[in-house]
Protein backbone atom coordinates (compact mmCIF):
# COMPACT_ATOMS: atom_id res chain seq x y z
CA UNK A 1 0.00 0.00 0.00
CA UNK A 2 1.31 3.45 -0.95
CA UNK A 3 1.09 5.94 1.92
CA UNK A 4 0.07 9.44 0.86
CA UNK A 5 2.21 12.15 2.41
CA UNK A 6 1.44 15.84 2.79
CA UNK A 7 3.72 18.41 4.38
CA UNK A 8 2.36 21.33 6.44
CA UNK A 9 4.87 24.14 7.08
CA UNK A 10 4.62 27.04 9.50
CA UNK A 11 6.66 29.41 7.29
CA UNK A 12 8.03 31.79 9.93
CA UNK A 13 8.78 29.05 12.44
CA UNK A 14 10.88 27.31 9.79
CA UNK A 15 12.45 30.42 8.23
CA UNK A 16 13.48 32.15 11.47
CA UNK A 17 15.10 28.96 12.77
CA UNK A 18 16.85 28.53 9.42
CA UNK A 19 18.15 32.13 9.58
CA UNK A 20 19.58 31.59 13.09
CA UNK A 21 21.48 28.49 12.00
CA UNK A 22 22.46 29.17 8.40
CA UNK A 23 23.72 32.75 8.49
CA UNK A 24 23.87 34.01 4.90
CA UNK A 25 23.00 30.62 3.33
CA UNK A 26 19.54 30.63 1.79
CA UNK A 27 17.12 27.74 1.93
CA UNK A 28 16.14 25.98 -1.28
CA UNK A 29 12.39 25.90 -0.70
CA UNK A 30 11.84 23.90 -3.86
CA UNK A 31 14.05 21.11 -2.48
CA UNK A 32 12.36 21.07 0.94
CA UNK A 33 9.45 18.72 0.03
CA UNK A 34 11.82 16.25 -1.64
CA UNK A 35 14.21 16.22 1.34
CA UNK A 36 11.35 15.83 3.85
CA UNK A 37 9.75 13.08 1.74
CA UNK A 38 13.06 11.16 1.62
CA UNK A 39 13.48 11.51 5.40
CA UNK A 40 9.89 10.32 5.94
CA UNK A 41 10.47 7.28 3.71
CA UNK A 42 13.50 6.43 5.84
CA UNK A 43 11.46 6.74 9.06
CA UNK A 44 8.55 4.67 7.73
CA UNK A 45 10.77 1.83 6.53
CA UNK A 46 9.45 -0.45 3.81
CA UNK A 47 6.13 1.19 2.94
CA UNK A 48 6.21 3.18 -0.32
CA UNK A 49 5.36 6.87 0.06
CA UNK A 50 3.79 9.30 -2.44
CA UNK A 51 4.23 13.06 -1.97
CA UNK A 52 0.84 14.75 -2.48
CA UNK A 53 1.60 18.37 -1.58
CA UNK A 54 3.35 20.94 0.57
CA UNK A 55 1.10 23.43 2.35
CA UNK A 56 2.81 26.67 3.42
CA UNK A 57 1.22 29.03 5.98
CA UNK A 58 2.79 32.51 6.19
CA UNK A 59 1.94 35.85 7.72
CA UNK A 60 3.15 38.85 5.74
CA UNK A 61 3.64 42.49 6.76
CA UNK A 62 1.85 44.72 4.23
CA UNK A 63 5.15 46.60 3.72
CA UNK A 64 6.92 43.41 2.60
CA UNK A 65 5.67 43.14 -0.98
CA UNK A 66 8.75 41.15 -2.04
CA UNK A 67 7.91 38.29 0.32
CA UNK A 68 4.23 38.37 -0.63
CA UNK A 69 5.11 38.28 -4.34
CA UNK A 70 7.58 35.42 -3.84
CA UNK A 71 5.01 33.39 -1.88
CA UNK A 72 1.99 34.07 -4.08
CA UNK A 73 3.44 34.48 -7.58
CA UNK A 74 6.42 32.14 -7.44
CA UNK A 75 6.13 29.47 -4.73
CA UNK A 76 2.36 28.98 -5.11
CA UNK A 77 2.88 28.26 -8.82
CA UNK A 78 5.41 25.47 -8.25
CA UNK A 79 4.14 21.89 -8.62
CA UNK A 80 2.80 20.52 -5.34
CA UNK A 81 2.88 23.81 -3.38
CA UNK A 82 -0.23 25.27 -1.75
CA UNK A 83 0.40 28.66 -0.12
CA UNK A 84 -1.88 30.45 2.33
CA UNK A 85 -0.99 33.96 3.45
CA UNK A 86 -2.44 36.34 6.01
CA UNK A 87 -1.56 39.96 6.57
CA UNK A 88 0.14 40.87 9.83
CA UNK A 89 -1.95 43.21 11.93
CA UNK A 90 0.07 45.78 13.89
CA UNK A 91 -1.44 47.62 16.82
CA UNK A 92 0.09 50.33 18.95
CA UNK A 93 0.64 49.20 22.50
CA UNK A 94 2.03 50.66 25.69
CA UNK A 95 4.54 48.85 27.88
CA UNK A 96 4.42 48.91 31.68
CA UNK A 97 7.49 48.40 33.86
CA UNK A 98 6.84 45.58 36.33
CA UNK A 99 9.11 47.18 38.94
CA UNK A 100 7.92 50.81 39.10
CA UNK A 101 4.69 50.78 37.07
CA UNK A 102 5.85 53.42 34.57
CA UNK A 103 3.93 53.07 31.31
CA UNK A 104 5.53 54.00 27.98
CA UNK A 105 3.90 54.32 24.56
CA UNK A 106 7.15 54.75 22.64
CA UNK A 107 10.81 53.86 22.88
CA UNK A 108 12.60 56.49 24.99
CA UNK A 109 15.71 56.12 22.76
CA UNK A 110 14.32 56.53 19.22
CA UNK A 111 10.71 57.65 19.80
CA UNK A 112 9.16 54.82 17.76
CA UNK A 113 5.77 53.74 19.14
CA UNK A 114 5.62 50.26 20.65
CA UNK A 115 3.56 47.89 18.53
CA UNK A 116 2.44 44.29 18.76
CA UNK A 117 1.93 42.14 15.67
CA UNK A 118 -0.61 39.40 15.30
CA UNK A 119 -2.03 37.21 12.57
CA UNK A 120 -5.58 36.02 12.57
CA UNK A 121 -6.43 32.53 11.47
CA UNK A 122 -3.26 30.93 10.09
CA UNK A 123 -2.93 28.25 12.77
CA UNK A 124 -6.66 27.62 12.55
CA UNK A 125 -6.37 27.36 8.78
CA UNK A 126 -3.58 24.79 9.12
CA UNK A 127 -5.59 22.74 11.62
CA UNK A 128 -8.72 22.86 9.44
CA UNK A 129 -6.80 21.83 6.32
CA UNK A 130 -5.11 18.89 8.05
CA UNK A 131 -8.32 17.69 9.71
CA UNK A 132 -10.32 18.02 6.47
CA UNK A 133 -7.77 16.00 4.52
CA UNK A 134 -7.58 13.40 7.29
CA UNK A 135 -11.37 12.99 7.51
CA UNK A 136 -11.68 12.84 3.72
CA UNK A 137 -9.12 10.04 3.74
CA UNK A 138 -6.79 12.11 1.53
CA UNK A 139 -3.65 11.82 3.69
CA UNK A 140 -2.00 8.91 5.51
CA UNK A 141 1.18 10.62 6.71
CA UNK A 142 0.94 14.30 7.66
CA UNK A 143 4.37 15.87 8.21
CA UNK A 144 4.05 18.93 10.46
CA UNK A 145 6.86 21.49 10.37
CA UNK A 146 6.27 23.77 13.35
CA UNK A 147 6.98 24.14 17.04
CA UNK A 148 3.61 25.75 17.84
CA UNK A 149 2.24 23.92 20.89
CA UNK A 150 -1.32 24.84 19.80
CA UNK A 151 -0.94 21.93 17.34
CA UNK A 152 -0.56 19.31 20.11
CA UNK A 153 -4.32 18.51 20.36
CA UNK A 154 -4.46 18.17 16.56
CA UNK A 155 -1.59 15.68 16.59
CA UNK A 156 -3.28 13.64 19.33
CA UNK A 157 -6.53 13.51 17.36
CA UNK A 158 -4.76 12.49 14.15
CA UNK A 159 -2.90 9.75 16.01
CA UNK A 160 -6.21 8.55 17.48
CA UNK A 161 -7.49 8.19 13.88
CA UNK A 162 -4.52 5.96 13.08
CA UNK A 163 -2.50 8.43 11.03
CA UNK A 164 1.29 8.32 11.25
CA UNK A 165 1.95 11.93 12.19
CA UNK A 166 5.57 12.98 11.63
CA UNK A 167 6.98 16.05 13.36
CA UNK A 168 9.84 17.80 11.55
CA UNK A 169 11.44 20.13 14.06
CA UNK A 170 14.59 21.90 15.10
CA UNK A 171 16.69 20.47 17.93
CA UNK A 172 15.93 23.24 20.41
CA UNK A 173 12.16 23.48 19.88
CA UNK A 174 8.98 21.55 19.39
CA UNK A 175 9.64 18.75 21.86
CA UNK A 176 5.94 18.75 22.88
CA UNK A 177 5.01 18.06 19.26
CA UNK A 178 7.69 15.39 18.87
CA UNK A 179 6.33 13.55 21.93
CA UNK A 180 2.87 13.39 20.32
CA UNK A 181 4.16 12.33 16.90
CA UNK A 182 4.45 8.79 15.56
CA UNK A 183 8.03 9.75 14.63
CA UNK A 184 10.13 12.88 14.33
CA UNK A 185 12.65 14.26 11.84
CA UNK A 186 15.60 16.45 12.80
CA UNK A 187 15.67 19.53 10.55
CA UNK A 188 19.15 20.50 11.75
CA UNK A 189 20.51 17.27 10.25
CA UNK A 190 19.02 18.15 6.84
CA UNK A 191 20.36 21.66 6.43
CA UNK A 192 23.27 20.70 4.17
CA UNK A 193 20.74 19.22 1.70
CA UNK A 194 18.66 22.40 1.70
CA UNK A 195 21.22 25.13 1.05
CA UNK A 196 20.43 26.94 -2.17
CA UNK A 197 23.35 27.00 -4.58
- pLDDT, one tens digit per residue, over 103-147 is 887 787 887 777 655 556 789 999 999 999 999 999 999 999 999
Closest CA to 186 of 35, 79, 83: 35
Tell me yes or no: is domain 3-194 CATH 3.30.390.10: no
1-27 mean pLDDT: 94
Q: What is the pTM of this model?
A: 0.85
In this predicted structure, what is the pLDDT of residue 87? 80
Q: Return the domain boundaries, the chain.
A: 3-194
Amino acid sequence: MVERLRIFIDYWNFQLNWNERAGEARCDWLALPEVLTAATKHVLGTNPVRFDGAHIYASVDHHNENLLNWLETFLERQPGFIVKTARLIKRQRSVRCTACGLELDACPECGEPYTVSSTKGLTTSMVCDIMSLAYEGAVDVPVIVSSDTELVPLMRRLSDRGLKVIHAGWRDGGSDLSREAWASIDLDAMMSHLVRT
